[in-house]
Amino acid sequence: MRRILILGSTGSIGTQALDVIRANPRRFEVVGLSAGSNRALLEAQAAEFDVDDTALGADEAEQLVRDVEADVVLNGITGSVGLGPTLAALECGRTLALANKESLIVGGDLVTAAAKPGQIVPVDSEHSAIAQALRSGSSEEVRRLVLTASGGPFRGRSRESLADVTPAEALAHPTWDMGRVVTTNSATLVNKGLEVIEAHLLFDVPYDRIDVVVHPQSIVHSMVEFTDGSTIAQASPPDMRLPISLGLDWPHRVSGVGRPIDWTVAASWTFEPLDDAAFPAVRLAKHVGRAGGTYPAVFNAANEQAVDAFHEGTLPFPGIVETIQRVVDAHEAPAGLTRESLAAAEAWARDAADRAIAARQ
């Protein structure tokens, strides 16, 4: 029986994690729950799973991690506010099932230095796929990582044609049902850029050996190419319950969490190169990742401000990545990396992004 603490229990990752646990009551026990603001649903979840320890907000979640005895902390919080709970889970020796990619990307060396080997288990479908494929060989045998991207709702569109797209169109993801920020990030490919940085930090593979390929069917979740020329891919119908279940009980598989591919039905899987001209976010993210320090925090914070502005109607869709680029170009990273310097860099980036957006009006 694994004791599970779920952070972000009322969101998409959290509710699906509870689905997995609900179906496997002899395998998992929920010992704590936290939510951002949805108190009513949090209380209903706590009542259903007989949980006494709950928290609202990131600060309370961080304290909950330190107070509750758990084997696994599933961090499903959205945004860089998840950094504190991530560091707390690592410092307390918990296994960290990480769906909150921003905390790793923003925290960078702070997070990797705090983690023991194998302590972080990725929950993003792409990184879970890579982790599964990496079991096929040693680290010395890895030639490159290949992250797949659905291409989002605007796959195949030119940069010029994206000028007038609406928030409703950006949220019409062809494959995944996600929140506003992540869905918009998938449309801009910012999400894939963040995942490239995440892959580098998780698997210690240089950026020039991490590629992105567009795979609209979202069946192959990512691949590892080995030095002998073989490529190992993880394939399954899109369902986050599979990588979530692996995060909860890595490296063991939980029966019945996802449906298998129906090999009796004809199907085609296609792979296309990423259009850097229309979607420059991945190239920018690699630049930011190589720069390190506070640059990824600046990239992420500027993006969050730009996404809000896009949905408020004050920024066109291409302006999201353009704003990130301007803020990154203007940033001067301080020496050393601390939680304080990260917080200061994020605050500066949000202000710089707001000023850049206002200047376009």
Residue 63 to residue 190: CA distance in whole angstroms: 31
Q: What are phi and psi of 103, to 5 degrees?
A: -65, -35
The answer as to whether 133 is a domain residue is no
Are 276 and 303 members of one domain? no
How far apart CA 219 and CA 237 sit, in angstroms, is: 5
User: 57 and 206 share a domain?
Assistant: no
pLDDT value at residue 177: 62
- Provide the mean pLDDT of the chain: 95
Residues 162 and 117 in one domain: no
- Give residue-wise pLDDT tens across range 324-333: 999 999 999 9
**Tokens encoding 195:** 């995942």
Mean pLDDT of 10-34: 97
In-domain check, residue 254: no
Query: Are both 273 and 336 inside the same structural domain?
Result: no
Regarding whether 226 and 146 lie in a shared domain, the answer is yes
- Residue 289: which of 203, 200, 190 has the closest Cα? 200
* Residue 178: pLDDT band with limits 50, 70, 90: low
Specify whether 144 is located in the same domain as 274: yes
Global pTM value: 0.94
Q: What's at 38, amino acid-wise?
A: N
DSSP character string of 141-206:
GEEEEEEEE--GGGTT--TGGGTT--HHHHT--SS----HHHHHHHHHTHHHHHHHHHHHHHH---
How many folded domains does the chain comprise?
3
End position of a domain, from candidates 249, 273, 308: 249
CB atoms within 10 A of CB 334: 14
9 and 158 in a common domain: no
User: Do residues 75 and 204 share a domain?
Assistant: no
> Is 132 within the bounds of a domain?
no
Burial of 4 (0-12, 13-18, 19+ CB in 10 A): buried
* First vs last C-alpha separation in the chain: 57
Q: Give 141-151 pLDDT, tens digit per residue.
A: 999 999 999 99
Q: What is the pLDDT of residue 173?
A: 76
Distances (CA, A) of 98 to 87, 104, 114, 178, 261: 11, 9, 14, 16, 26
Q: For position 114, which CATH number holds?
A: 3.40.50.720
- Kindly state the average pLDDT of the residues 295-299: 97
Could you give the dihedral angle defined by the CA atoms of residues 9, 87, 122 and 51, in that order, rounded to the nearest 10 degrees? -30
Say whether both 210 and 327 belong to one domain.
Answer: no
Q: What are the residues whose beta carbons fall under 8 Å from the beta carbon of 341, sequence distance 6 or more? A: 294, 334
Do residues 73 and 107 both lie within one domain? Answer: yes
Residue 104 included in any domain: yes
Residue 286 lies in a domain: no
The verdict on residue 328 lying in a domain is yes
In-domain check, residue 181: yes
| 193 part of a folded domain | yes
Q: Which residue has the higher pLDDT, 174 or 210?
A: 210
Mean pLDDT calculated for residue range 122-138: 97
Which amino acid type is present at position 356? A
| Nearby residues of 209 by Cβ (< 8 Å), 6 or more positions away | 142, 143, 144, 145
Cβ atoms of residues 183 and 173 within 8 Å: yes
Q: Inform me whether the pLDDT recorded for 116 exceeds 90.
A: yes
pLDDT at 176: 63
Q: Are residues 98 and 118 in the same domain?
A: yes
Q: Do residues 75 and 88 both lie within one domain?
A: yes
pLDDT band at 182 (very low <50, low <70, confident <90, very high): confident
Domain that holds residue 22: 2-123+240-249
What CATH number does residue 317 fall under? Answer: 1.10.1740.10
Alpha-carbon distances, residue 52 vs 5, 194, 260 (angstroms): 12, 35, 36
pLDDT digits (tens, 9 = 90+) for 243-286: 999 999 999 999 999 999 999 999 999 999 999 999 999 999 99
